[in-house]
């Protein structure tokens, strides 16, 4: 992963969620869940195995200001459901849930669902484990496809 190119693209390129939803091949991701309002997909540059991003389909930029309580709670139910699927499939020691991005880059509201594998040394957990600056995993398209299938099965079993 070219971190400088990623930052430039996040700050000057199209909205990555909107481009993904529009079918732009430069923003392709492996989808694991979709309903009328939300989408969940595997992170293209995961720092942890099976890292999933969950976003509203509408271009929303601020969870507090731009979502009414009902819309926020619907989104958080999807985040929780996806997190439970990640937990079931990857059996992490801890599941991290974060909303990142800003008006300066990756503005489309999205939640990161990242399972910390058991046995990661403490000094490589938490923020360290989530920062691309510390390295990203390079799953093959086949590995991403297999992870997506396993997550979709877990979500289907949960009624989603």
pLDDT tens by residue, 83-133: 999 999 999 999 999 998 888 878 899 999 999 999 999 999 998 998 988
Domain segments of the chain as ranges: 3-157
Handedness of CA 71, 72, 77, 82 (dihedral sign): positive
Instruction: Indicate the pTM of the whole model.
Output: 0.91
pLDDT tens by residue, 55-86: 999 999 988 899 999 999 999 999 999 999 99
The answer to whether residues 135 and 12 touch, using CB atoms and an 8 Å cutoff, is no
For 141, list phi and psi in degrees, rounded to 5: -55, -35
Residue 103 confidence (pLDDT): 82
Record: fold of 3-157: HIT family, subunit A (3.30.428)
């Amino acid at each position: 992963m070219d971190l400088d190119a990623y930052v430039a693209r996040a700050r000057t390129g199209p909205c990555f969620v909107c481009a993904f939803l529009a079918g732009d091949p430069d923003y392709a991701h492996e989808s694991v869940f979709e309903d009328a309002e939300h989408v969940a997909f595997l992170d293209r540059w995961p720092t942890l195995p099976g890292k999933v991003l969950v976003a509203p389909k509408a271009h929303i930029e601020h969870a507090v200001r731009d979502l009414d309580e009902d819309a926020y709670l619907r989104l958080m139910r999807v985040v929780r459901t996806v997190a439970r699927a990640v937990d079931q499939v990857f059996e992490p020691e801890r599941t991290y849930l974060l909303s990142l991005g800003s008006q300066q880059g990756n503005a489309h509201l999205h939640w990161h669902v990242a399972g910390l594998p058991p046995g990661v040394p403490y000094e490589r957990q938490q923020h360290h484990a989530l920062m691309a600056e510390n390295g990203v995993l390079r799953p093959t398209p086949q590995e991403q496809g297999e992870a997506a299938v396993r997550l979709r099965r877990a979500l289907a079993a949960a009624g989603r």
